[in-house]
């Protein structure tokens, strides 16, 4: 959470700083809110335009230098009408791009367009390093591993070792001196000696130690085969945080079969290409707001291109390319003997993905959230209510169940969700 917040803070600060300090470089000033412009740009324009390079349509970073404001307004709102009016520039650009028609945006107000244009001006200057002052907040976000437990254990062992050496030395000296040797207890105070030597203390201590050991052994054994937290390194450093979190891509967009099938489906590479045909990662910034790959294509996204055979320079699929599947590492592994169906849970049960997969939209790298043990499944089946009210399948059954259970909630358990054969066959 901290991570996300800090990144957002950073972005807002950076945007504000840019807004204040950047000098207008364009031929004319555009009165607009670049922040709003950015979101409008991303929603409406980004699938065909980039600021710094040609995509489906021309690069827009310097569009205010190239075109008059009025022309831009009428072009963006209805380019077909502008072309029909015989505007030479409009026809020229239409022909330059082989007659591909740009979507008309009559829904955008003038102010919206000003905002977008303001963003194109500012965004175009972003390639330059951002003012250093903004970076302070971001540094704290670096993740820290907790080493306290092993350090404490190690230190105590080391101390114990030192003590035993000290005693050996002490006793050796005593032997040399001819004095009787002594141990730790002899040297300890009266109370310590009494307590340690008392039978009740010994009995209680043994009980406490053995119970703790047994408990730990039990938990240890019960966790055999559980892979909670399993976080393998994937062939592509895909970030659910970026996709599902920051960009709010619906889970079902990529995992489209979750609603239809037992398997949620790892998206096929062509699904990635729906977006990544246009987004090549060159705009990804790091925490400081610097371009992560120096404006070059992201090497991770290049892996998608390599898999499917896309030539980003020519913006075309390579013919007769030998496609290579991406071999993801499966994280959530149920044993073959258990049958799990995504559609049953996602579509019929209306269960959120996060219920089992955890805060997936915050995971940079996905890890296994739940332990996926049978007890965990069963527990959920005991507590989760069935969609008896809304799903037509249950219409008749619901009446019968109401009669049988009265006002009690109808849980999965009550419709046989704990029976062996519902999952094991």
Structural contact between residues 245 and 361, judged by C-beta atoms closer than 8 angstroms = yes
CB of 191 to another protein, least distance (A): 45
222 lies in the binding site for another protein (CB under 8 A): no
CB of 178 to another protein, least distance (A): 49
Sequence-distant contacts of 260-264: CB under 8 A, at least 24 apart: 260/343, 260/347, 261/341, 261/342, 261/343, 262/339, 262/340, 262/341, 262/342, 262/343, 262/344, 263/342, 264/342, 264/346
Q: Smaller CB distance to another protein: residue 102 or 372? A: 372
Q: Smaller CB distance to another protein: residue 46 or 366? A: 366
Q: Smaller CB distance to another protein: residue 70 or 320? A: 320
Residue from 262, 286, 316, 382 touching another protein (CB under 8 A): that is 262
Q: Give the residue carrying structure tokens 């994937």.
A: 234
Tokens representing residue 192 in the block: 């310590």
> Applying CB under 8 A, which part among 52-60, 108-116, 172-180, 254-262 lies near another protein?
254-262
* CA dihedral sign, ordered 67, 71, 73, 76: negative
312 lies in the binding site for another protein (CB under 8 A): no
Site for another protein in 141-200 (CB under 8 A): none
Helix axes 299-308, 269-276, angle to 10 degrees: 130
Number of residues that bind another protein (CB under 8 A): 57
How many angstroms separate the CA atoms of 255 and 301, rounded? 19
CB of 275 to another protein, least distance (A): 16
Residue from 330, 375, 406, 407 touching another protein (CB under 8 A): that is 330
* CA dihedral sign, ordered 336, 338, 344, 346: negative
325 lies in the binding site for another protein (CB under 8 A): yes
Structural contact between residues 107 and 43, judged by C-beta atoms closer than 8 angstroms = no
CB of 425 to another protein, least distance (A): 5
Judged by the rule CB under 8 A, the positions of this chain that interact with another protein are 224-225, 227, 230, 232, 256-257, 259-263, 265-271, 307-308, 323-330, 333, 335-337, 339, 341, 343-344, 347-348, 390-393, 395-397, 400-401, 404, 415-416, 419-422, 424-425
């Amino acid at each position: 959470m901290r991570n996300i917040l800090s990144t957002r803070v950073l972005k807002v600060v950076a945007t504000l700083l840019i807004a204040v300090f950047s000098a207008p470089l364009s031929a004319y000033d555009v009165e607009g809110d670049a922040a709003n412009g950015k979101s409008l740009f991303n929603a409406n324009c980004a699938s065909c335009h980039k600021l710094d390079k040609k995509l489906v349509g021309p690069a827009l970073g310097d569009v205010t230098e190239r075109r008059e404001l009025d022309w831009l307004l009428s072009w963006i709102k209805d380019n077909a009408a502008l072309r029909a009016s015989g505007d030479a520039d409009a026809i020229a650009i239409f022909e330059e791009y082989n007659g591909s028609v740009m979507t008309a945006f009559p829904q955008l107000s003038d102010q919206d367009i000003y905002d977008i244009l303001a963003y194109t001006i500012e965004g175009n200057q972003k390639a330059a390093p951002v003012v250093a002052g903004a970076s302070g907040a971001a540094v704290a976000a670096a993740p820290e591993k907790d080493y306290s437990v092993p350090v404490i254990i190690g230190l105590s062992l080391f101390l114990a070792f030192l003590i035993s050496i000290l005693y050996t030395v002490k006793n050796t000296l005593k032997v040399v001196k001819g004095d009787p040797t002594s141990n730790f207890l002899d040297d300890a105070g009266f109370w310590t000696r009494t307590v340690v030597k008392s039978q009740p203390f010994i009995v209680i201590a043994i009980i406490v130690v053995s119970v703790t050991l047994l408990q730990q052994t039990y938990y240890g054994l019960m966790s055999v085969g559980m892979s909670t937290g399993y976080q393998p390194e994937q062939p592509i450093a895909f970030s659910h945080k970026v996709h599902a979190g920051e960009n709010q891509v619906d889970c079902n967009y990529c995992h489209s079969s979750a609603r239809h099938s037992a398997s949620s489906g790892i998206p096929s590479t062509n699904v990635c290409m729906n977006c990544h045909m246009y987004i090549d990662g060159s705009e990804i910034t790091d925490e400081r707001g610097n371009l992560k790959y120096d404006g070059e294509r992201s090497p991770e996204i290049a892996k998608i291109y390599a898999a499917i055979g896309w030539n980003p320079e020519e913006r075309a699929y390579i013919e007769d390319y030998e496609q290579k599947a991406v071999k993801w590492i499966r994280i959530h592994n149920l044993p073959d003997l258990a049958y799990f169906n995504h559609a049953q849970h996602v579509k019929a049960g209306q269960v959120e993905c996060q219920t089992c997969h955890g805060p997936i939209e915050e995971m940079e790298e996905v890890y296994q959230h739940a332990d996926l043990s049978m007890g965990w499944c069963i527990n959920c089946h005991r507590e989760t209510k069935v969609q008896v009210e809304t799903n037509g399948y249950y219409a008749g059954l619901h009446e019968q169940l109401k009669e049988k259970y009265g006002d009690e909630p109808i849980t999965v358990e009550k419709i046989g969700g704990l029976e062996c054969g519902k999952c094991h066959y």
